[in-house]
Amino acid sequence: MDLKLEGKTALVTGGSAGIGKGIARALAQEGVDVAICARRKEPLEEAAAEIARATNRRIVPIPADLSKDADAKNFVAQGHKALGRVDILVNNAGSSPLAPSSLETSEQLFDRIVSLNFKGPFRLMSLIGSRMAAGEGGSIINISSAGALRPRPQIAPYAGAKAALNALTEAFAHEYGPKVRVNTISPGRFLTDVSKAWPEEHKKNATAALKRSGHPEEIVTAALYLASGASSFTTGSLVRVDGGIA
């Protein structure tokens, strides 16, 4: 299938590693110029250079901490300046630190989790979505988590923030439709850089229907579908890519 993404532009958050880097690379392979952001400058620039070499597309690294409004606004401004417009936004940046218990979850940790996983995507969707709606339209893809659908005590603030992100998807689909489509991908366990610290039993993911964790390339196809016109009648939707979590 020709996804007809050649010449499009995209912003991908959390693009220096893991799922975000995989999506940025997949978009670039389809002919998309991409601006990526992450907090740490050096790994971000290395990822941008690597993707650019592999795809011969323009990959623009823009350091940003999306838990901060000023950084989110700067990412949008710099991304627009570098690319000329934004056709696709992928809200992938997130963090899911564990807490010993809800009682022992500090205010600082709670605020950090909610700001990055909920406030950051909200701000970017409002900034980018409004521009898309006033222009040629576009596609927004939110990367949520199976934790929002199957919450556990150790990740309660993270699960709550991602559940709120799922709700935002539908709200923004109505606010910026019909020219802008907004959808969510809900990943399960994926064998990215962060999984290197997991116990082997956790990697096996025995309770999932497919009895394994996913590989990053197994989620990019869903992102490409939602980014392209192939999903022209899909908005406000949640697509589970989780191996059949239980």
- Which of 158, 172, 176, 190 is an active site residue? 158
CA-based max dimension of the chain:
51
For this structure, is 158 an active site residue? Answer: yes
Distance CA 43, CA 171 (A): 34
Catalytic residues: 158
